[in-house]
Amino acid sequence: MSISNGYSMAPHTRPSPEELRRCEAVEKKLAQSFRMDSDPQRIDSEAVLNEARRRATTRRPRPLIRIGKARESVTQDDIEDLENLKLFRARSNQSLAPAVLYHASRFWAVLIGIDAYQSNPLHGCVSDALTMKILLTEKFGVPEHRIQCLLGSNNLTPGSSMTPSRANIVNVLYNLIVNVEIQRGDNIIIYYAGHGSSYHCSPQCAPKSTCRKARVCPIEAMCPIDRDMIDVHGRPIPDISDRELNALFAQISCAKGHKITFLADCCYAGGMSRDPSPPTGTRAMTPTSHSDVNDMLRAAHTRLRHLPRYRSVLSQDWQPDMSSHVLVAACQDYQTARESGGGGDRCGGEFTRSLVDALTSGECNQGTTYQDLADLLNRTHTQTPNVCGDHMNEPLWYLNTATGF
């Protein structure tokens, strides 16, 4: 299958015997180091890979992680070898996997792509959102009327409900809660390509403060096309915080079930909030100039406070509900999401390009989980896709409704 705007099926390259043996040697070495080699003939490959990741994340983003008091160490190359070995084995078994059919009637999608920011405009986000629409309609057979696109190009229609303004984005997500056509257990895909930003909980939120230790600060945000503009009440328009998004996802989950996938081709890297000029092609922006984090949270609270089971985004002990959705993000919190390919239709996010390649390559079968998908995506030292959520080890959204699964 081919996808427009420069996207195509990923080639099925076969590893050389030498490469395969090297990866297997790395797995054996780490299994011994982790004391997982009680039966050398039956190494639990998944357990070795998960343990390597677990030990690595305790010291991220440093490239070399010591393993306890052992002399052996785990490098990023070792982890990549384990991931490649898993991929090689999956490909070798692919011909045995049955064809997967999809219940397209169980899919709903909201696709948001924003290029035309007043400052630091982007060039590939609208194209990426349209590419995702093609993927959903052509590969998965999702009817177009079940896909809502909010696109921010240079040819906006003033006052259109499909403009990716703050109000429209929140309204479209809110309407998923009350849409009677969406049945409980249906799959809901929310895709966003655009700028992200990052805010401290308060000016007093120091690196070693309680809020940072609790992993609720900094507050990440999605940047609508009208950020920092003045609304009809004369107030500057704030960003959309991750707390507001989480609250909306929790409400959607209560009404429709937890099969919600949030695909985010943007970054919230905290360092970007201190950079007056983020690098060109980076999908990150500094915080708004005319509103602050409190304005952003108050706007969310005002909009959502009447909802049942709502947990105030203003609460000092706020915690995210990760049972409501799975997040697949373009990069880790210390990295940046980038777009490449020049201008025009050929420009696009590196994450989206890799995502489309993975989903059209035929490498995903009925056992593929969100974590497996992250392993299939291109990884570099500057951009490593991230997946999180209580259901990240469940099958991908479209496999949950596959015939016979």
3-state secondary structure the chain: CCECCCECCCCCCCCCHHHHHHHHHHHHHHHHHCCCCCCCCCCCHHHHHHHHHHHHHCCCCCCEEECCCCCCEEEHHHHHHHHHHHHHHHHHHHCCCCCCCECHHHEEEEEEEECCCCCCCCCCHHHHHHHHHHHHHHHCCCCHHHEEEEEECCCCCCCCCCCCCHHHHHHHHHHHHHCCCCCCCCEEEEEEECCEEEECCCCCCCCCCHHHHCCCCCEEEECCCCCCCECCCCCECCCEEHHHHHHHHHHHHHHHCCCEEEEEECCCCHHHHHCCCCCCCECECCCCCCCCHHHHHHHHHHHHCCCCCCCCCCCCCCCCCCCCCEEEECCCCCCCCEEECCCHHHCEEHHHHHHHHHHHCCCCCCCCEHHHHHHHCCCCCCCCCEEECCCCCCECCCCCCECCC
Identify the pLDDT of residue 283.
72
112 contact partners, CB below 8 Å, separation of at least 6 = 129, 149, 150, 151, 164, 169, 190, 191, 192, 193, 194
pLDDT for the residue 217: 74
Q: What's the one-letter identity of residue 386?
A: N
pLDDT for residue 248: 97
Q: Please tell me the distance from the alpha carbon of residue 350 to that of residue 330, in angstroms, as a whole number.
A: 8
CB 387 within 8 A of CB 327: yes
What pLDDT score does 391 carry? Answer: 95
Torsion of CA 402, 187, 320, 152, to 10 degrees: 130
At 70 the pLDDT is: 42
Can you tell me which residue has the tokens 């507001």? 244
Separation in Å, CA 324 to CA 11, 181, 220, 258, 327: 34, 20, 18, 5, 10
User: What is the pLDDT at residue 155?
Assistant: 74
Residue 16: its pLDDT value, please? 74
Which structure tokens are listed for 246?
């989480």
Q: Are 253 and 324 in contact (CB under 8 A)?
A: yes
Q: Return averaged pLDDT per consecutive 10 residues of the chain, 405 residues in all.
A: 40 65 88 81 82 68 38 76 80 52 81 94 93 93 95 82 96 97 96 92 51 65 95 94 96 96 78 40 81 94 92 91 94 76 69 91 84 83 85 84 44
What local confidence, expressed as pLDDT, does residue 57 receive?
A: 60
pLDDT of residue 136: 94
